[in-house]
Amino acid sequence: MGSIMGAQILVQCGSPSLRVKPSSFSGKRICGRAFCSMNASGSISIVPDLLHYLNQSWTQFHATAEAKRELLSAGFHMLDEKQEWDLKPGGRYFFSRNMSCLVAFAVGEMYNVGDAFHVIAAHTDSPCLKLKPKTASCKSNYSMVNVQTYGAGLWHTWFDRDLSLAGRVILRTSHDSFLHQLVKIDRPILRIPTLAIHLDRTVNQDGFKPNLETHLLPVLSMKPAVTSLESKDKNSALSSKPPHHPLLMQILSDELNCDVDDIVNIELNVCDTQPSCLGGGNNEFIFSGRLDNLASSYCALRALIDSCESPADLASEHAIRMVALFDNEEVGSGSIQGAGAPTMFQAMRRIVGDLANNYVGEGTFERTIRQSFLVSADMAHGVHPNFMDKHEELHRPELQKGLVIKHNANQRYATSGITSFLFKEVGKIHNLPTQDFAVRNDMGCGSTIGPILSSGVGIRTVDCGIAQLSMHSIREICGKEDIDIAYKHFKAFYESFSSVDKMLTVDN
Ligand SMILES: [Zn+2]
């Protein structure tokens, strides 16, 4: 796993070039992907590629950069939202925003202005600890790192793990220019230790209830001895105390191969260093962090790329096939890089306008939206063998049994009777199983970007996902088979939804 974990993607701000260290191509890989492997049923499996993607993607920034790299190597053209576009039928394009949100699309050769978009949307972020602006904290004889919680993590699972840091920095390259660069420290430099049972005798009876401000600080190191000079400095200039431990900045500068003083800003997540892997007696599971929602993101991305691998794949297509990956779902999507921003709506309007040579007749865009269809893909709760009563008896999704269609009468999910029927029909035609989920009436229900995009854009939407266990734990579990089923279902959606959609008319 060394070569996989050691790879690093460097992305320059304002430049379309991606610089990839040669180490990322070491080992048995073609274009960053593992050699194709077969699954139990003898068909091609994307699971090795997903594991590679997960191991590269410690943060939402890395998940986006890795997706960009896959799109570029598949021949997609990178667009800049700040420049004019020149799109053509048969063309394949993408753009990213904030290096944490990405929209990729392929235009059918038979596209006529007003034709539909077929979209799969997912999210790049996962619950984690993020560094506060000032991180240098000391307790007893330890150097600690100040963190803030992001999203609804199962925080007790972050204790006693071998942790590190990844994210992005801004580097000074000259007196008037800066570089945006991703960084990943590929060794365990942090740890949040639990308290020994002898000092917390009732923890197993009363539950482990850490205070998120005082108990969740990772230890970086033993505090270095203070020299008499530094001690004098400390007393005389408290206000100029550096925001981060010098050791932390040194580790970053070593990794980035730059001077400490060149690092002018940091935006880092605390990450688990344990690589994603197969597990279970028959290797039937995937054990990994961030399955929610990088598993969906990757299945959607690969489905789009593989659905238009050769020009012939788009020859008879009228629709525009699109993937939209958003940041900040775990905290409500209310940001410029989140699904709450008009990114997708603006992209669709812009694409329609560009393909119409900026002559968009009355109602053209509205027609487009009314014909379009969105698959909101996010992980689902599989039934837990030790907590069976948490699921309603008739709606207990199981691992390895196909995509879960999520229903909620109170619109926590955007699925309707029509959208679930059409999406299941795609599966049925390709012999792909689906399952239904509805939450118990005496329990709260999660939500997704489905209702946000459905109501914001006005697009028909189905909410679906891969069943998993341990959702929002630092280490989650899903079924290997389900990854390939989801990939195939998404690919089938792109390839056959234009014809499936013609089979049912609702509003006339
Ligand atoms: Zn999610």
Instruction: Give residue 125 CA to ligand 1 midpoint distance, Å.
Output: 8
CATH of the domain at 145: 2.30.250.10
> What's the half-sphere exposure (Cβ side, CA atoms, 13 Å) at 473?
13
User: How far is the C-alpha of 58 from the C-alpha of 80, rounded, in Å?
Assistant: 25
**The last residue of a domain, from among 227, 242, 272:** 272
482 and 367 in a common domain: yes
132 and 120 in a common domain: no
426 and 356 in a common domain: yes
**Domain-embedded: residue 424:** yes
Instruction: Give residue 343 CA to ligand 1 midpoint distance, Å.
Output: 19
Band (pLDDT 50/70/90 cuts) for residue 357 is confident
At 169-206, the pLDDT tens digits run 999 999 999 999 999 999 999 999 999 999 999 999 99
Instruction: Give residue 57 CA to ligand 1 midpoint distance, Å.
Output: 15
365 and 483 in a common domain: yes
201 and 107 in a common domain: no
273 DSSP β-pair partners: none
> Is pLDDT of 132 > 50?
yes
**Domain-embedded: residue 30:** no
- Tokens 């209702």 appear where? 451
> Is pLDDT of 452 > 60?
yes
Band (pLDDT 50/70/90 cuts) for residue 45 is very high
Mean pLDDT (whole number) for 487-507: 96
Instruction: Give residue 300 CA to ligand 1 midpoint distance, Å.
Output: 14
Instruction: Give residue 330 CA to ligand 1 midpoint distance, Å.
Output: 7
- Tokens 């079924």 appear where? 479
What pLDDT is recorded for position 224? 77
305 and 176 in a common domain: no
**Domain-embedded: residue 6:** no
Instruction: Give residue 27 CA to ligand 1 midpoint distance, Å.
Output: 32
Q: Which helix (H) or strand (E) holds 37?
A: strand 37-38
Instruction: Give residue 147 CA to ligand 1 midpoint distance, Å.
Output: 22
Q: What is the DSSP letter of 456?
A: I
- Structure tokens belonging to residue 77: 């053209």
213 and 106 in a common domain: no
Amino acid of residue 301: L
Mean pLDDT (whole number) for 403-411: 96
339 and 258 in a common domain: no
Instruction: Give residue 63 CA to ligand 1 midpoint distance, Å.
Output: 14
Instruction: Give residue 403 CA to ligand 1 midpoint distance, Å.
Output: 14
**Domain-embedded: residue 9:** no
**Domain-embedded: residue 415:** yes
Instruction: Give residue 56 CA to ligand 1 midpoint distance, Å.
Output: 19
352 and 484 in a common domain: yes
Instruction: Give residue 453 CA to ligand 1 midpoint distance, Å.
Output: 15
Backbone angles phi, psi at 387, to 5 degrees: -140, 50
**Domain-embedded: residue 5:** no
Instruction: Give residue 143 CA to ligand 1 midpoint distance, Å.
Output: 33
Band (pLDDT 50/70/90 cuts) for residue 239 is low
**Domain-embedded: residue 281:** no
What pLDDT is recorded for position 9? 36
User: How far is the C-alpha of 188 from the C-alpha of 460, rounded, in Å?
Assistant: 45
What pLDDT is recorded for position 44? 83
Quote the number of domains for the chain. Answer: 2
> Is pLDDT of 444 > 70?
yes
325 and 261 in a common domain: no
Instruction: Give residue 308 CA to ligand 1 midpoint distance, Å.
Output: 27
406 and 439 in a common domain: yes
Q: Which residues contact 271 (CB under 8 A, 6 or more apart)?
A: 58, 59, 128, 163, 164, 165, 166, 184, 289
What's 41-100 look like in SS3?
A: CCCEECHHHHHHHHHHCCCHHHHHHHHHHHHHHCCCEECCCCCCCCCCCCCEEEEEECCC
Instruction: Give residue 475 CA to ligand 1 midpoint distance, Å.
Output: 14
Instruction: Give residue 448 CA to ligand 1 midpoint distance, Å.
Output: 7
**Could you list the residue range(s) of the whole structural domain that residue 243 is in?**
128-272
Distances (CA, A) of 53 to 62, 123, 124, 231, 279: 9, 14, 12, 46, 17
What pLDDT is recorded for position 401? 97
163 DSSP β-pair partners: 190, 272
**The last residue of a domain, from among 228, 247, 272:** 272
Nearest to residue 56, comparing CAs of 28, 77, 80, 25? 25
Instruction: Give residue 279 CA to ligand 1 midpoint distance, Å.
Output: 22
Distances (CA, A) of 37 to 28, 224, 399, 496: 12, 49, 21, 25
> Is pLDDT of 163 > 80?
yes
**Domain-embedded: residue 423:** yes
At 65-124, the pLDDT tens digits run 999 999 999 999 999 999 999 999 999 999 999 999 999 999 999 999 999 999 999 999
403 and 377 in a common domain: yes
Instruction: Give residue 292 CA to ligand 1 midpoint distance, Å.
Output: 5
CATH of the domain at 60: 3.40.630.10
Instruction: Give residue 295 CA to ligand 1 midpoint distance, Å.
Output: 10
More confident residue, 358 or 215: 215
